[in-house]
Amino acid sequence: MTAPVFILAGEPSGDRLAANLMRAIETAHGSQRWIGVGGPAMMAAGLQTQHQMEQLTVMGFGAALTAYPRLSAFANRLVDEIMAARPRLVITVDVKGFSFRLAARLKRRMASAGWSAPIVHAVAPTVWAWGAWRRHRVARSVDGLLCLFPFEPGYFTPLGVDAHFIGHPEAFNSVYDRPVRPSSAGDALHIVILPGSRRSEIRNMLAPMLLTLNNLRFTYPGITATIPTLPAMRGEIEAVFQRMPGAETGVSVDSAEGALFSALGRARAVLAASGTVTLQTALHGVPGVACYIMSGLSASIGRRLVRMDRVILPNAILGRQVYPFLFQEGATPRELTASMLRVLGDEDADRHAMADAAELRQALRGESASFEDNVARALTGWLGSPYA
């Protein structure tokens, strides 16, 4: 029996990316037996797993400290499972703290057993935004690195990491080729509210976003909103509604497949938590405002480590402000309202957003016509020539 491929992801965006990688590998190298840790997208692509992806999701520096014993024990368990399965390739996707800890322990175990499999990590640490020293941990832990942004390999190849730019799968999504945008103006506006895909993010950010929506009604009385979300997060959103009587007025929650793109197609603007979703909204050509609110401890540490001008992916990729970013105490309903009013009142906002979207697609596709081709070429050294 052909050796399996171990693949791991720990949050919704990683789950989707890992599923894309799985399909790309199978397109180039044929059907694979997939084992590891993942979510619904990976399981739909063929992953066999007995682990819940959510147990890897930790938000903030303080939460990471308290979760360390549990995550450490889980990493040891996965090392045991990998050593027993002897996969031909180990792929970790995002959840960097856990992934590099797992890779380092696995390398030690493989060395002591006299057996090895290549370890490849997808989604490079954002050393261009904070913590350039983290490059050295990557070099010690993995054999290869799959980078989503064109400027990233140059940070790692000098350290001996086999790093490849594979493009970003979102840039190859045909939904962005002809994005549908609302054609009518006036007071009856529709916006999309994106409070994050984690429970803690929804708890921290949805209430200020709903208060912002209510404030916008003083200028746009008929304004409505959609909150696209995962089915598992509906309960968390409804709990916020229960704490804020009347906040659900004019707001629809959509957890159907394709909810995000359906909502963006009729939105004049977005109010979004920072994260991968800001890249999706920017690729769709929708103007808006980004924000983030976290625990006080995490925010204090983050301010010392993070370059705030590079937190929002479209801003970092294009080197200019695509979305204004409001952080922590700056992300009050008053400030969010003022920023959203500037966007909604800008007659050129749509035109600028569509131009940004075209530039982002070009930057994130590279020279290739498909994401699958990029992945296949990047993994040739470990899986052999593609399409053989």
- What the block records as the tokens of 145 is 């690195």
**Mean pLDDT of the residues in the chain:** 89
The neighbouring-strand residues paired with 273 are 291
pLDDT tens digits along 75-104 = 999 999 999 999 999 999 989 889 999 999
Host H or E run for residue 89: strand 89-93
**DSSP conformation letters of 26-83:** HHHH----EEEE--HHHHHTTEE--S-GGGG---SHHHHHHHHHHHHHHHHHHHHHHH
**pLDDT number for residue 61:** 46
Q: Which of 131-135, 194-198, 209-213 has the highest mean pLDDT?
A: 209-213
Residue predicted with more confidence, 62 or 225: 225
Q: What is the mean pLDDT of residues 180-194?
A: 73
**pLDDT number for residue 90:** 98
**pLDDT number for residue 100:** 94
Q: Is 244 exposed, middle or buried (0-12, 13-18, 19+ CB in 10 A)?
A: middle
pLDDT tens digits along 41-52 = 999 999 999 898
Report the predicted TM-score, pTM, of the whole model to 2 decimal places: 0.78
| Span 175-364 CATH architecture | 3-Layer(aba) Sandwich (3.40)
The span from the CA of 2 to the CA of 274, in Å, is 41
Residue 306 binned pLDDT confidence (cut-offs 50, 70, 90) = low
The span from the CA of 127 to the CA of 14, in Å, is 18
**pLDDT number for residue 369:** 79
Scanning the structure block, which residue is given the tokens 């983290």?
134
Residue predicted with more confidence, 285 or 186: 285
Q: Is 131 left (phi over 0), alpha (psi -120 to 50) or beta?
A: left
**H-only helix segments in the chain:** 12-29, 40-44, 61-85, 96-113, 134-141, 153-156, 199-216, 234-243, 259-264, 276-283, 296-305, 313-318, 333-344, 349-365, 371-378, 380-383
Q: What is the mean pLDDT of residues 149-169?
A: 93
The Cβ-side half-sphere exposure at 203, using a 13 Å CA radius, reads 6
Pairing, β 89-93 against β 119-122 = parallel
CATH code for residues 5-167+366-383: 3.40.50.2000
**pLDDT number for residue 198:** 87
**pLDDT number for residue 212:** 97
pLDDT tens digits along 217-235 = 999 999 999 999 999 999 9
For 6, phi then psi, to 5°, come to -90, 130
- What the block records as the tokens of 277 is 């979703």
**CATH 3.40.50.2000 domain residues, the chain:** 5-167+366-383, 175-364
The neighbouring-strand residues paired with 139 are none
